[in-house]
Structure 1
Amino acid sequence: MSVLFEEVRLSLPHLEVAAHLYGPDDGKPVIALHGWLDNAATFSRLAPRLQGLRIVALDLPGHGHSDHRPIGAGYNIWDYAHDVLQVAEQFGWQRFSLLGHSMGAIVSVLLAGALPERVERLALIDGVIPYTGEADSAPQKLGSALEALLAVNDKRKPVYASFDQAVEARMKGVGAVSREAAELLAQRGLMPVPGGYTWRTDPRLMLPSAMRLTRAHALAFVSRVACPTSLVLAEQGLMMQPELLELVESFPFDIRRLVGGHHLHLDDDIGAEAVARVFNSFLHD
């Protein structure tokens, strides 16, 4: 599959991030955010199908070709909101829309709730709010995270003898994907090392969260979203648990259920086209 995009690096005040640029220079501004352990290639099927938009598909820090956060810094989900704002500043965008998948969708909701005046529209794919935790579990959660942080330097990332072995492993990972989708993610996400290939991702991304928002925190962010929001739910995705589905369907969002897995926008052309039909009309209304 051949798509036209521009590869860029953006020097933010705190680190450098890589991105793919799609669409005309004068298109409506959109920042696209991928899911956990993915990269900008997650939008390689969808972005070319979205018309009249200037899409900046990021490798979030710690992912793909973007810098890892400095030693001592963490990967709290709300920190990505700051990264996105800095990217918008680079392009001179006071208002912009967000296209987010999974973790990227969660970051989008957090930013739209925190600074509703900056976000014009939200286009979300199989993600809305983070995993939550209540106050009584916070001490144990922090303790586990601190112990894991102490041990992180002793862990080695897996090395795959061949590109195909890495692709097969990604197919079976969190949010299982098609072979073509795994190949697209791997082409951007792998790097050669002695003995084969390993992922570019920062090992600290695998650490448990030190703190989680409570359910009340998460719902407060949703309640502050002031822009039109379109949410695509994958029928074979990660949000079909009855309790979560009931909660999400109570949100004031336009919700569309589509056939496909968690990466339906990347797994095949049929899924990408179905998502594009939803978002093309929505992002231009």
Structure 2
Amino acid sequence: MSLAFEEVRLRLPHIELAAHLYGPEDGRPVLALHGWLDNAASFARLAPKLEGVRIVALDLAGHGHSDHRPAGASYAIWDYVHDVLQVAEQFGWARFSLLGHSMGAIVSVLLAGALPERIERLALIDGVMPYTGEAEGAPQKLGEALLAQMALAAKRKPVYGQFERAVEARMRGVGAVSREAAEYLAQRGLMPVPGGYTWRTDSRLTLPSPLRLTRAHAEAFVRRLSCPTRLVLAEQGMLANQAELTRLLEGSPIEVMTRPGGHHLHLDDEPGAELVADCFKAFLLAP
């Protein structure tokens, strides 16, 4: 596995995050944001192929080697947006680009819509909009979330007797991945415990959202994008064949490029990473 990165810890005003740094210090600034329950290793194949850019691949809060949020706090999608902005502030980046996969792509769109003056370019991989919910379903969703929070203390993370068992479990998880991709994610995402290994991720990440943006809210963020935006859609990904997404993208400023592969096409194998890199190399360096 490639070690072509520098490991750093970023002490923000409210939390400490871990990250991998790729590329020259004077390269074009890019923050890379992984998907739900993944970590910075999501970009282990792709980042070294994006020459000329300075990539900060974060472990988002509660993931990988980053801190968990304090007791009583939650993992609302807009809290990640705040974290990302604080990271940019720490690096002194007034303007920067975002490279986001899945949930990381969603966070990227929200930040670019909220503060368009800060974002130069958006490079998105199989992700655009958050899951949405309409007003009539909000009371039920909040009730379900509250009950899940109350029950969390009685639940225990799975323990895998062998590293390979954890890798196999990740291969079958949400957004199924190749064995090699699962190994990348597991190397960073596992920690030893009595009896074997378990995931470092905060258990609260699996709780249902107490409140979701409506579709109108989510679409408003997409419509407000003003920077060049390129989306790589995976032919066998999680967004394939979604009629509503197709309708949204047709009326948006987002340039769509469809490529063969699954939801983690940028990590599953080297050919997939090359395909995604070819979509973003010149794009991220353009004036």
TM-score range, shorter chain: over 0.9
Query: Is residue 246 of structure 1 aligned with residue 241 of structure 2?
Result: no
Q: Which amino acid aligns with 2:32?
A: A
Q: Which amino acid aligns with 1:94?
A: A
Q: Which amino acid aligns with 2:282?
A: S
User: 1:164-194 deviations in whole A, cap 9, x for unaligned?
Assistant: 0000000000000000000000000000000
Q: Give the match for residue 196 of structure 2.
A: 196
The answer as to whether partners of 2:40 and 2:59 remain within 8 angstroms in 1 is: yes
Q: Give the match for residue 140 of structure 2.
A: 140
Q: How does 1:147-226 map to 2 (within 5 A)?
A: 147-226=147-226
Q: Give the match for residue 37 of structure 1.
A: 37
User: 1:131-189 deviations in whole A, cap 9, x for unaligned?
Assistant: 10000000000010011001111100000010000000000000000000000000000
CA distance in 1, matches of 2:114, 2:131: 18
CA distance in 1, matches of 2:203, 2:165: 19
Q: Which amino acid aligns with 1:161?
A: G
Query: Is residue 69 of structure 1 aligned with residue 83 of structure 2?
Result: no
Q: Please report how far the alpha carbon of residue 284 of structure 1 lies from its aligned counterpart in structure 2 after TM superposition.
A: 1.4
Return the TM-score normalized by structure 1: 0.99
User: 1:228-270 deviations in whole A, cap 9, x for unaligned?
Assistant: 0000000000001332442343222111000000000000000
CA distance in 2, matches of 1:58, 1:284: 20
Q: Which amino acid aligns with 2:128?
A: V
The answer as to whether partners of 2:17 and 2:58 remain within 8 angstroms in 1 is: yes
Q: Give the match for residue 25 of structure 1.
A: 25
Q: How does 1:36-115 map to 2 (within 5 A)?
A: 36-115=36-115
The answer as to whether partners of 2:78 and 2:107 remain within 8 angstroms in 1 is: yes
Q: How does 1:3-18 map to 2 (within 5 A)?
A: 3-18=3-18
CA distance in 2, matches of 1:52, 1:248: 32
CA distance in 1, matches of 2:249, 2:2: 37
CA distance in 2, matches of 1:243, 1:278: 24
Q: Which amino acid aligns with 2:55?
A: I
Q: Please report how far the alpha carbon of residue 113 of structure 1 lies from its aligned counterpart in structure 2 after TM superposition.
A: 0.2
Q: Give the match for residue 270 of structure 1.
A: 271
The answer as to whether partners of 1:7 and 1:19 remain within 8 angstroms in 2 is: yes
CA distance in 2, matches of 1:206, 1:34: 16
Q: Give the match for residue 120 of structure 1.
A: 120
CA distance in 1, matches of 2:225, 2:142: 29
Q: Work out the number of aligned pairs and report it.
A: 285
Runs of 5+ in structure 1 lacking a partner? none
Q: Percent identity?
A: 74
Where 2:208 maps in the other structure, the secondary structure is: coil
Runs of 5+ in structure 2 lacking a partner? none
CA distance in 2, matches of 1:276, 1:79: 29
Give the alignment's Cα RMSD to 1 decimal. Answer: 0.8
CA distance in 2, matches of 1:271, 1:240: 17
